[in-house]
Structure 1
Amino acid sequence: MSLSDVRRYIGRYELAERIGKGGMGQVWAARDPELGRHVAIKLIHPRDDATRTDTEARIARFRREAQVMARLAHPGVPQIYDIVRDPVRGEDLYIVMQRLYGSTLRDICAAFAPLPISWTACLGVHLCSVLTHTGSVPLVHRDLKPANIMVTDEGLAMVLDFGIAALLDGDQSTLTPAGSTPGTPKYMSPEQIQAGEVTPRSDLYALGCVLYELLVGEPPFNQDHAHAVQFHHVYEPPVPVQARRPEVGDELNLLIHDLLAKHPEDRPASAQEVLARLARFLPRGETAAAEGWPRGLRILLHPGPAWFTTPTTTNDAPTLHQDRLQQADTLFDGGEYARAYTLYQEHLTELADRGVGESKEVLRLRGQLAYCMTKLGEVTQALETYEHVLKAAEILPPDDPFLLATRRRHGLLLHSTGRLVEAFHVLVALHRDLLQHLGTESPETARVRDALNRLRRQLRSGRQQP
């Protein structure tokens, strides 16, 4: 479906490009002009051959996803902002949610698996923090897999797609069509496959499958046919991780073995227990270089003490200052640069106090600060900050969107301050990389190309040679 097939606006939300598509619907980038922030909108259209009963069931499941996610106050679950039913086409439903930037774990596995043990442990702790919280709701995701996990630019692992999640305090059975088994075969627990009772320990089995894949490069059972995979989940033991990757060691091998136990009662009692067992494998440093992580592998936020805290009965959860950061981003998008600057600086100071080094999150904050400085007239300080960010950005892949945008802002600021030759060289190198990574038709490439054309005219008129 192209953008022309849908309205440009859904309510007050202005649609941009489609950024995802799955069994339950599509996800579009959008903007909320009233609040001045970028959002994602998940929408669902009924199938042409669907009966009214089918359509209502799909809408019920979609609405449940929004209600479930709205109950989850955790930084590892995307925030829900709004839910809208189309006033004209009543069968169309829209969920307005937090816009995420990053890579799915599926893409990371495809590029880097097998993953470093310390990175895998860090990712596992992020997921256990989410599962500790969802288990207190109580909630079972039922489809935890690499495609439903994103590592954001800020270094957080986010658990996506609660569309088939089962709330354990009510009517989950009504949302599953007769004869179907929700989940993905390669990551399903034996009790799911056998249509038994699902519990938080069912998600721990899926977590074991994910960690196994990160460490080995493929899930524990990877047969060609779904029925064969399901048979192995129920009846066959997996090859031990240590047998396929000896450096994993006895303790981590035992943890994966326990997570993949056929019977739920033989698995760890809770995600909190798994989190504690993973803790000894966490990276010692805050940067990829300290642990020898591959260049280009996304950096994960190093877990602090709050990650190890069990949620209270009021469903409070560690926020990692996400509310403040989201407020700063909203102010930034709305052009309130002085207020955004203050919040970004506070967050950066707290990260420094916690000993966080030049992580992706820190670099992004510095980049935002530099742009705020530019808008506030602190041009010299902004240039120094951009140069610091770009020097430290060796930890990022060359096609990282943040890195490319920062290079453009740096070049344009050099241009605006009259340092034309320096700006020309910066933007020429950037334009070459944009052509390689984004192509000639990309809006980002076009912006840099236009800036270069203006520079060339100025340089010619001023008789300066780059």
Structure 2
Amino acid sequence: MIIGDRYELDDLPLGRGGMGEVYGGYDQKLDRRVAVKLIRFPYGRSDETLVKRFIHESRIMAKLEHPGAPALYEADVYEDPSFGPRPFMVMQFVEGATLDHILGEHGALPLGWAAGIAAQVAAVLCAAHERGIFHRDLKPSNLMVCHEGTVKVLDFGLAMFHDPELPRLTRTGAIMGTPAYMSPEQVRGAAVGPQSDLYSLGLVLHEMLTGQRVFDGSTEYHLFEMQVHEPAPSVRVHRSDVPEELDRLVQRLLAKRAEDRPAQAKAVHDALLPFVNEVRPLLGVMSPGLSPVRMYAEVVSRIAGGADARSEPVPRTATSPEPFQQATSGGFDFSHGDLARACSQAEALAKASRYGQAVEVLSAVVVPADRMLGPLDDEVLALRLRLAEVLFEGGDYRRAAPAFGELHRDRARKHGPYDERVLHCRRQEATCQALMGETGKALSMLKGLLADEQAVYGGNDPRPLELRRQIGLLELGAGDTERARLTLSALLDDLTRLHGPEHPDVTKVRNSLIRLTM
């Protein structure tokens, strides 16, 4: 079969998963092997909204440039005779052995190998989480160990289908993922953040060290029960040579409450590095002899090996001048017409999901507009808001969060603290914090916002009601089950009183409460 007028697929798939099939293929135009993933829609039927979301999310994922993630070459839609419009992704073809095959062959891995594989995965997750991309289906079959000893994290497929608007703090619909490797908050359909991927990494690391799955039930429901309620056994119960410090790290990764896990993948990577030593070639996995990849990595490690080089860079806010801004601001005869043209151009780019270009266009006029018209000019405020929204839509939460924060403070100075857009920016800032894994900070911000929204709009307005649902799901995602139960139960009573028991909003909250019983 040939799709996209150039990709010739092998007869049999390389693998199947919850989101479709992966085929080896051949790019006739560039004369190279590729991997092609045919996406299967949730619920088994095509949906125009999901097609648009697929294109939107694939453009965000294409920016995930890391040696440990296969390059995404193309994402498009072809006409499948059986399914209608069907999205597909064309990716780098990776040679190697998946971790599940390695574990099946070797059982428990040497300590250095287990720590080395997990540390590489943590580095990839660090890059993904900075882009607001959560894997959601991390497991041994999605980890490819290449012949040089490097690891590729495969199949960010479930990351493609999360809500693109504010309820993006959680997923909609049925539970998706692999039960043996799902976090408690995924099982419960709660807010998913970086710590969910770290829980899955903990399950994989535990399995590499012991040769056994942490939880292995006879049914999916049994596995869900174990993920939510059953503590993970100590690695040292199965393997006494594992250092206590490494065992404690695994236990932290497998904490049932997301807030009790490490906050960031970088911290996990750094904690694992001391255990990556005396790593000898693993039979049938790592090719002996000269490796240009290892030669390259050795040079990089010596260049950037100092402690100062590994410190985190100071995040740049959305309004900080970029090189392009500095080049265009000097001597720029600025006018309101320039603002209108920039906004129109950026809007067209954003509608086409070309967020990087839209940010460049808006950034190029933010600084001169601020200087010429003042930071509190209404057109400048609107321009800054659009820039913050484009950063958010493009998944750049680390730049969007301070942009929204500065905006709601500046706008409040001119229009007062209860201005509708001030409240909107506060909500967006909190949402960014949640999506970066700062659940405690996000909850504090949202609860303060809720009190103000109720004062402005009244308790029965849809905006504070939806905010209460988000707070409940965040509490649930953080593992605060009792507080989430109280929040969602009170919300269910109010929604039922307002809309009746069969309203869609009532059903959503009721389903969340049902999952609390898992």
Indicate the TM-score class for this superposition, using the shorter chain for normalisation: 0.5 to 0.7
1:66 corresponding residue in structure 2:
58
Alpha-carbon distance in 2 for matches of 1:275, 1:156 = 15
Q: CA deviation at 1:208?
A: 0.4
Alpha-carbon distance in 1 for matches of 2:170, 2:261 = 26
Q: 1:27 to 1:179 in 2, by over 3 A?
A: closer
Deviation digits for residues 23-66 of structure 1, max 9, x if unmatched? 3222222222332322122224679x955xx5446645654663
Q: CA deviation at 1:116?
A: 0.8
Q: 1:9 to 1:226 in 2, by over 3 A?
A: closer
1:162 corresponding residue in structure 2:
156
Deviation digits for residues 2-31 of structure 1, max 9, x if unmatched? xxxxx3454123334433333322222222
1:77 corresponding residue in structure 2:
69
TM-score (norm 2): 0.52
Q: CA deviation at 1:227?
A: 1.6
Q: Does 1:140 align with 2:128?
A: no
Output the amino acid matched with 1:70. A
Q: CA deviation at 1:130?
A: 0.3
1:24 to 10, 19, 42: 19
1:130 corresponding residue in structure 2:
124
Q: Tell me the secondary structure at the aligned position of residue 76 of structure 2.
A: strand
Alpha-carbon distance in 2 for matches of 1:200, 1:174 = 14
Output the amino acid matched with 2:77. R
1:238 to 232, 237, 240: 232
Q: CA deviation at 1:93?
A: 2.4
TM-score (norm 1): 0.57
CA contact (8 A) 1:61 1:163 kept: no
2:247 corresponding residue in structure 1:
253
Alpha-carbon distance in 1 for matches of 2:274, 2:171 = 43
Q: Which runs of 5+ in 2 are unaligned?
A: 317-518
Deviation digits for residues 355-401 of structure 1, max 9, x if unmatched? xxxxxxxxxxxxxxxxxxxxxxxxxxxxxxxxxxxxxxxxxxxxxxx
Q: CA deviation at 1:243?
A: 1.1
- 1:408-427 equivalences in 2 (<5 Å): none
Q: 1:174 to 1:201 in 2, by over 3 A?
A: closer
CA contact (8 A) 2:97 2:285 kept: no
CA contact (8 A) 1:69 1:77 kept: no
Alpha-carbon distance in 1 for matches of 2:80, 2:161 = 31
Output the amino acid matched with 1:260. L
Alpha-carbon distance in 2 for matches of 1:228, 1:88 = 37
Alpha-carbon distance in 1 for matches of 2:183, 2:41 = 30
1:86 to 65, 72, 78: 78
CA contact (8 A) 1:143 1:183 kept: yes
- Between 1:108-117 and 1:37-46, the stretch displaced more is 37-46
2:284 to 292, 296, 301: 296
Output the amino acid matched with 1:187. Y
2:99 corresponding residue in structure 1:
105
Q: Does 1:150 align with 2:138?
A: no
CA contact (8 A) 1:189 1:206 kept: yes
2:198 corresponding residue in structure 1:
204
CA contact (8 A) 2:35 2:91 kept: yes
2:219 corresponding residue in structure 1:
225
- 1:64-463 equivalences in 2 (<5 Å): 66-86=58-78, 91-165=85-159, 170-171=164-165, 178-284=172-278, 287-288=280-281, 293=282, 295-298=283-286, 305=301, 309=310
> In angstroms, what is the RMSD of aligned CA positions?
3.2
CA contact (8 A) 1:258 1:268 kept: yes
Aligned length: 299
Q: CA deviation at 1:234?
A: 1.6
Output the amino acid matched with 2:147. D
Q: CA deviation at 1:273?
A: 0.9
Q: Which runs of 5+ in 1 are unaligned?
A: 1-6, 315-466
Alpha-carbon distance in 2 for matches of 1:50, 1:273 = 39
Q: Tell me the secondary structure at the aligned position of residue 35 of structure 2.
A: strand
